[in-house]
């Protein structure tokens, strides 16, 4: 029986020749980190013989790669940038406890190879006695964790989500991604090997001419692109979200006009283009939220699911709902803006004159010098937006410190002081 087991194993597992001592050390270190991740004592690896350890630690899966799903659909520079940033992320971010310092790149290469080889060895009867018991213990412990090839890399896929959405534009082209763990085994040697391949997908915008107020304009269909194993879908909203008496089976197709994107860029001026793209796409898909006032309903634009940064207005055209502009949080028609106007007794022209219709206003002005304005922003709920954006820039604290404009501060301060004197 022992002879048969060895024969079977020789057809399944053949290690690479010429593996360096350094490579085996990398594999051993990754295996110990993997055991610590599962609250196992790394010293249990010492029970295996030198030959067994060489077999378990001399292999690594190939490094992940990024490519376009279809040739000539994604600019080369985008592919290079995504590949470079993904590699940096995987090498500098950790799976599980950061103290363990088990990077996603180590997991994708040496870690994945170790758990695969150990499982094959157990299945093929390579080990016996205490060695088998130890190997079985580790394999069983690994099986209690989420699927390594999918959920183990959730953070990496979330990072790729931000990268692909950041280069996507509703009025041009939308990008997404899917992935495969592909078998790259060497047929001649039987060496078991896999590689994580990321495929970047591209979807050209679907357009439609829509007439409103006797004016015909182009609108762009909203879609949610590929994400991991999820296929792209066209976005819609049930009609009863807008009209409560409508049937739950009826839907509105979602479209957006270019004017929205122009206003969004102009008014969300503290953000880089990639961040703006991500915010508007999340707001109109996974965070979609309708806010109704006495006069109108809006789609909320959010920097976080519960933190509005402004609102999108829309109109209905048949079975299509068309988003036609973006209004900032300090607009007099928004829930927060209307409170601010009442507290400060401002006019629309005055807010534009002061620059309050742009996001940069919240960071250009030193509000500690204008207590009445700061308190009004707090009471109206707008101050929460400033704090949320500051949290977003935690990795770049100089953003807030260097953005205060003393000339702008004095301009706004003088306006309120003179106005109060006049009143």
> What gap in Å lies between CA 149 and CA 21, rounded to an integer?
27
Asked if residue 111 lies in contact with residue 30, where contact means CB atoms within 8 angstroms, the answer is yes
Average pLDDT of the residues of the chain: 89
Structural tokens at position 348: 């629309």
Pairing of strands 236-238, 233-234: unpaired
pLDDT in tens, the chain (423 residues): 444 333 333 334 445 555 678 888 899 999 999 999 999 999 999 999 988 988 888 888 999 999 999 999 999 999 999 999 999 999 999 999 999 999 999 999 999 999 988 998 998 899 999 999 999 999 998 886 656 777 789 999 999 999 999 999 999 999 999 999 988 875 444 556 789 999 999 999 999 999 999 999 999 999 999 999 899 999 999 999 999 999 989 999 999 999 999 999 999 999 999 999 999 999 999 999 999 888 889 999 999 998 999 999 999 999 999 999 999 999 999 999 999 999 999 888 999 999 999 999 999 999 999 999 999 999 999 999 999 998 887 755 444 445 789 999 999 999 999 886 655
Element (H, E) at 170: none
Asked if residue 154 lies in contact with residue 267, where contact means CB atoms within 8 angstroms, the answer is no
Sheet holding 194-204, edge to edge: 62-68, 194-204, 173-183
Structural tokens at position 179: 């992935």
Structural tokens at position 28: 């051993």
Q: What pairs with residue 62 in β-bridges?
A: 195
Question: Which residues of 213-319 form beta strands (DSSP E)?
Answer: 215-221, 223-224, 233-234, 236-238, 251-257, 290-292, 297-304, 307-317
Structural tokens at position 342: 């009442």
176-203 tens-digit pLDDT:
999 999 888 754 445 567 899 999 999 9
Sequence ranges of the domains in the chain: 2-203, 206-328, 335-422
> What gap in Å lies between CA 24 and CA 45, rounded to an integer?
14
pTM: 0.88
């Amino acid at each position: 029986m022992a002879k048969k087991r060895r024969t079977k194993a020789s057809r399944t597992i053949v290690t690479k020749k010429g593996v360096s001592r350094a490579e085996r050390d990398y594999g051993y270190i990754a295996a110990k980190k993997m055991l610590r991740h599962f609250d196992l004592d790394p010293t249990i690896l010492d029970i295996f013989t030198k030959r067994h350890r060489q077999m378990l630690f001399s292999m690594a899966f190939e490094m992940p790669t990024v490519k376009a799903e279809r040739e000539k659909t994604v600019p080369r520079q985008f592919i290079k940038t995504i590949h470079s940033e993904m590699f940096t992320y995987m090498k500098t971010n950790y799976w599980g406890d950061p103290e363990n310092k088990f990077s996603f790149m180590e997991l994708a290469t040496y870690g994945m190879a170790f758990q695969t080889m150990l499982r094959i060895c157990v299945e093929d009867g390579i080990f016996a006695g205490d060695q088998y018991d130890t190997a079985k213990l580790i394999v069983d412990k690994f099986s209690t964790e989420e699927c390594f090839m999918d959920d183990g890399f959730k953070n990496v896929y979330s990072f790729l989500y931000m990268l692909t959405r950041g280069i996507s534009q509703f009025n041009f082209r939308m990008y997404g991604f899917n992935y495969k763990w592909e078998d790259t085994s060497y047929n001649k040697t039987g060496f078991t090997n896999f590689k994580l391949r990321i495929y970047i997908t591209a979807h050209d915008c679907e357009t439609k001419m829509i007439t409103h107020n006797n004016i015909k304009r182009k609108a762009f269909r909203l879609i949610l692109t590929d994400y991991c194993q999820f296929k792209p879908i066209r976005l819609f909203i049930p009609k009863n979200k807008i009209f409560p008496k409508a049937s739950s089976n009826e839907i509105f197709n979602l479209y957006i006009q270019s004017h929205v994107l122009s206003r969004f860029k102009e008014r969300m001026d503290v953000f880089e283009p990639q961040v703006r793209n991500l915010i508007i796409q999340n707001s109109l898909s996974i965070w979609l939220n309708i806010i109704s006032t006495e006069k109108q309903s809006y789609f909320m634009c959010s920097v976080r699911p519960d933190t509005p940064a402004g609102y999108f207005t829309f109109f209905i055209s048949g079975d299509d709902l068309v988003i036609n502009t973006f209004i900032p949080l300090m607009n007099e028609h928004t829930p927060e803006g209307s409170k601010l106007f009442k507290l400060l007794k401002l006019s629309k022209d005055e807010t534009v004159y002061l620059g309050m219709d742009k996001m940069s206003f919240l960071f250009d002005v030193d509000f500690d010098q204008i207590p009445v304005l700061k308190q009004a922003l707090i009471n109206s709920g707008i101050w929460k937006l400033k704090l949320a954006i500051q949290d977003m820039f935690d990795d770049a604290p100089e953003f807030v410190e260097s953005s205060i404009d003393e000339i702008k501060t004095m301009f706004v301060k003088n306006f309120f002081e003179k106005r109060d004197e006049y009143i």
